[in-house]
Amino acid sequence: MVADSPNMRRRGIAAPSHDEQNRSMAPVAIIGGGISGIAAAHELGRHRIATAIFEATPRLGGRVSTVERGPVRFDDGAQFIRTDTPMAAQLLLNDLPSDLLFDITREVLPFDRRGHIGPGDPAQNALPKWGYRGGLMVLPRLLAASSRARIHLGWPVASLTRSRIGWQVSGPRGEAGNFRAVLVTLPPMAARALAILDGSLTRAHGAPGKGTHRTIISVAFEPDSPPSAPAGAYAFVNTDRQHAISWLAFESAKPGHVPAGREVVVAQMAHDWSAPRLGLPDITIAAEAVALCSAFLKSRVVPRWAHVTRWAEALPDTTVTLSLDDEDGGLFFAGDAFAGGRVHLALESGLAAATRIRRQLDAQS
């Protein structure tokens, strides 16, 4: 049984009765099943704290996504993972199964607004660029399996209401129950759509709602006759941010993704190109993007197929600083809005939030 702590009384939160504890599915609700949310569930699971993840879409992973088309697979969100930070390195390389991991050894080269390709940065290219043979989606799957979280897919959360024992989570699918702590891991626009009802006060939005993310449309296509990558590189990145293409990669550099003799090109289009085209049909977006890629590669590409993914909130423009006042009375925040737009940073943000939640639950017990 959990006794009232002075902290809880100060914030008007009572310890749950037996009935209330039984009605609650898990002490911690996690809103958003991207990497930061699943990493938090993994970390809480390691400490035997039960979690429930509520994910709006039918799949976990968020902006980590892999598409499969017969024998071909490609990553249409994040392209590779760094392990520049110690916790991400420990998790990816030691704690989780690493047999499907590989380092993309081919180089990334910069290009400018005219499409001129320059020499790669030796320091950046020396760092590992991790991928998974099964696609980057392997990472959220591994984290989810180890977390033992209850996972609710296709479950958009619409509101959080402060209740006697913490927070009540609700959405179009009804009320999910009461939770001692809630972790919100949404990018800014999604966070602004979440109603946070704190007694008589409605917070306009949570801390992540303060940021902005830029838009990327990702277009993947299989050329009828595979072009070879200039200078044998893996990918090209536009460094002056003046080109319509911000990133162009050859998926055959990733073992297990593309059968021999075939190629999948992944083009990520710049914000200024992508934002006004979000509402256009796939066929129009694909035709324009393939023409731009043909010009960049100096060879006319005829695609066998093309796949368009719209990332309205792709990467943070700026990073929001999370203050202690933002997290109050069992409401916590994580995600790349606070950490920076990289998988390993989102992951560390989820792990760090899990530690803050664990401390609060410990203080209350």
Ligand X SMILES: Cc1cc2nc3c(=O)[nH]c(=O)nc-3n(C[C@H](O)[C@H](O)[C@H](O)COP(=O)(O)OP(=O)(O)OC[C@H]3O[C@@H](n4cnc5c(N)ncnc54)[C@H](O)[C@@H]3O)c2cc1C
| Site residues for ligand X per CB under 6 A | 31-37, 54-57, 62-64, 77-82, 156-157, 185-187, 190, 194, 216, 218, 268, 311, 314-315, 335-336, 341-344, 346
The smaller minimum CB distance to ligand X, of residues 20 and 288, is found at: 288
Q: What is the DSSP string of 178-237?
A: EESEEEE---HHHHHTSEEEETTEEESS-GGGG--EEEEEEEEEEESSPPPPGGG-SEEE
User: In the complex with ligand X, which residue's Cβ is closer, 178 or 309?
Assistant: 309
Question: At its nearest, how many Å lie between ligand X and the CB of residue 146?
Answer: 17
As measured in angstroms, the least distance from the Cβ of 210 to ligand X is: 15
CB 364, min distance to ligand X, A: 25
Q: Are 180 and 356 in contact (CB under 8 A)?
A: no
**The tokens of 205 are what?**
């939005």
Structure token pair of residue 51: 């979690």
Distance separating the N- and C-terminal Cα atoms of the chain: 8
CB 217, min distance to ligand X, A: 9
Nearer to ligand X, 169 or 297 (CB): 169
Of the pair 154, 256, the CB lying nearest ligand X is at 154
What type of residue sits at position 280?
L
How far are the Cα atoms of 216, 278, 321 from residue 249, in angstroms, in the given order?
15, 22, 32
Closer CB to ligand X, residue 2 or residue 197? 197
Min dist. Cβ of residue 19 to ligand X (A): 27
Query: Cβ of residue 276: shortest distance to ligand X, in angstroms?
Result: 17
3-state secondary structure 83-110: CCCHHHHHHHHHHCCCCCEEECCCCEEE
* Pick 262 or 310: Cβ nearer ligand X: 310
Q: In what order do the strands lie in the sheet with 303-316?
A: 108-111, 235-238, 245-250, 265-269, 213-223, 303-316
